[in-house]
Structure 1
Amino acid sequence: MELESLPDDVVAEIEVRDRWRRASAGGGLEFLVTDIARWTPGSTVRVAFLDGDDQLHADIAGATAQITDACNLKLDFGHDAATGTFRRWTTADTAFAAEIRVSFDMQGYFSLVGTDSTDRTIGAGGGPVGGNPGQRSLNLGRYAVNRPAQWEGTVRHEFLHALGFHHSHQNMRGTCEDEFRWDDEAGYVPTRDANGVFVADAQGRRPGIYWITTFAPRTTRMSSPGLSTHSP
């Protein structure tokens, strides 16, 4: 998979900004600086689509349903039950149609982290990706024409970044890949315990991070700088 394939100029802008933040923090306060990118717990984060059809949009929304409980955030896809349509954005937008602006037309898979998607200094010089209203903040390459195997796992991975989990090159506390098992173990059969929590199946195969296996629903104990701790 072509994960984290952000354009080089965008990566460079983020790295310059993050170096400035670390230098400004000083005195061991770098963890507080990384929290700048988190969404306010309990808030609603809007999602809009540039391309793709209504069925694809519905599938993307469905694939993210479990992770939002764990993050104590709500993803609002702007679904119109009467028409079956979802919120859209365009590259001509001058006001934000959504905080997370999804596209399927660029190569690879990537997402800006948390509130970076509305940071107008990212991509300020123009270009298809950045924190401005007419720029992509999350891309799932070619999903509109040919979804890959285990596509749901990639969707959850990128949306977790969009909700505040940092990429490994940004995370000062350790990589998200080290902290979490992103996908189900091969052959996993969805299995819940008496409390409705997804657990290992009868063969001992474990679910991935999007089922939140290491803690109860609506509770996070991650060391991710992009999310705050929340208790039920």
Structure 2
Amino acid sequence: MSEIHIPGLVCIDDYPDETTFCSNKNVVNSPQKEQKHQELAIANEKKWQPGQVLRIRFLDGEQQLHKIVENYAKEWLNYANLEFEFGNFADAEIRITFNGNGYSSLVGTDALKRPAPAPTMTLGEMTKATNTKLLKAVVLHEFGHAIGCVHEHSSPSVEIPWDKDKVYAYYKKLGWDKEKVDHNVLKRYTQCGINFSEHDSKSIMQYPVLEELTVGNFKIGWNTELSEIDKDFIAKVYPK
């Protein structure tokens, strides 16, 4: 099986009007002690209502690819009390394009702030021939954003020992400037507006951390499935 390197798994933080919420790459906070379980991080004010039907429209791409994405995305519904309705809805809450570069999605209800028909999720340059594991990992990750989850490596509960000089040099090769690296890689959310506890290194919302970009031997592998903590937590966020 061929190895998928981190550039194929980079998700760009996407917020309407370039606004974010309660984030600071330099802030270190302790986990909320009252929570007893490990949980992925989720933006409280960007959650949908439990039981809500989210309409999803593909703006382009192959029909066979649409079905593949739909099947992977629905895995979240085994645990979250939400419904996905795929169709050609002019005012769909979630609108997906396969044009452009990279992967991104607005977080939860931020999708309502971007007027149709502009896309709220980008699965750039994916086709039905894309590596199966890569495709599934990206779809699960981006739909995690779509239902309100934020990046696990940006959680207030984890402090990754980044070697910043190496991080900047690595992403510069991908065409990223310092500001983009700070925002998408080094940034960490503060506690306000985020529901979280201990860091879940196996979360689908955690992208790989290369050992060559950290101090010491810290690294996180490639996650391609929902973790048990992902499943447990999203079921609490959207109870049946």
Q: Same fold (TM over 0.5)?
A: yes
Q: SS of 2:104's equivalent? A: strand
Match of 1:137 in 2: 120
Match of 1:154 in 2: 138
Paired with 1:171 and 1:62, the residues of 2 have a C-alpha distance of 34
- Superposition pairs for residues 7-156 of structure 1, below 5 Å? 10=15, 13-15=18-20, 18-19=21-22, 34-78=43-87, 87=88, 96=91, 98-119=92-113, 131-144=114-127, 147-150=130-133, 151-156=135-140
Relative to structure 1, the CA distance from residue 157 to residue 45 in structure 2 (aligned partners, 3 Å threshold; closer, same or farther) is: same
Aligned residues: 160
Percent of aligned pairs sharing the same letter: 26
Relative to structure 1, the CA distance from residue 175 to residue 107 in structure 2 (aligned partners, 3 Å threshold; closer, same or farther) is: farther
Instruction: State the Cα RMSD in Å.
Output: 3.6
Q: Which has the higher contact order (CA 8 A, sep 6+)?
A: 2
Consecutive unaligned residues in structure 2, runs of 5 or more: 1-7, 24-41, 155-187, 206-222
Q: Which amino acid aligns with 2:127?
A: A
Relative to structure 1, the CA distance from residue 171 to residue 179 in structure 2 (aligned partners, 3 Å threshold; closer, same or farther) is: farther
Match of 1:221 in 2: 233
Contact 2:107 2:146 in 1 (8 A): yes
Contact 1:5 1:110 in 2 (8 A): yes
Paired with 1:34 and 1:109, the residues of 2 have a C-alpha distance of 19
Q: CA deviation at 1:88?
A: 6.2
Q: CA deviation at 1:164?
A: 1.0
Consecutive unaligned residues in structure 1, runs of 5 or more: 21-32, 79-86, 90-95, 120-130, 184-206
Contact 2:72 2:139 in 1 (8 A): yes
Relative to structure 1, the CA distance from residue 88 to residue 38 in structure 2 (aligned partners, 3 Å threshold; closer, same or farther) is: same
Over 4 Å off, 4+ runs = 173-177
Relative to structure 1, the CA distance from residue 61 to residue 229 in structure 2 (aligned partners, 3 Å threshold; closer, same or farther) is: closer
Paired with 1:209 and 1:180, the residues of 2 have a C-alpha distance of 9
Q: CA deviation at 1:65?
A: 2.1
Contact 1:100 1:117 in 2 (8 A): yes
Paired with 1:137 and 1:177, the residues of 2 have a C-alpha distance of 27
Alignment deviations for residues 146-177 of structure 1 (CA, whole Å, 9 cap, x no partner): 52451111111111110111233557445997
Paired with 1:61 and 1:164, the residues of 2 have a C-alpha distance of 18
Contact 1:71 1:163 in 2 (8 A): no
Paired with 1:148 and 1:176, the residues of 2 have a C-alpha distance of 31
Paired with 2:11 and 2:78, the residues of 1 have a C-alpha distance of 24
Contact 2:54 2:85 in 1 (8 A): yes
Q: CA deviation at 1:19?
A: 4.7
Q: Which amino acid aligns with 2:203?
A: R
Whether 1:166 and 2:162 are equivalent positions in the alignment is no
Q: CA deviation at 1:214?
A: 4.2
Paired with 2:85 and 2:96, the residues of 1 have a C-alpha distance of 13
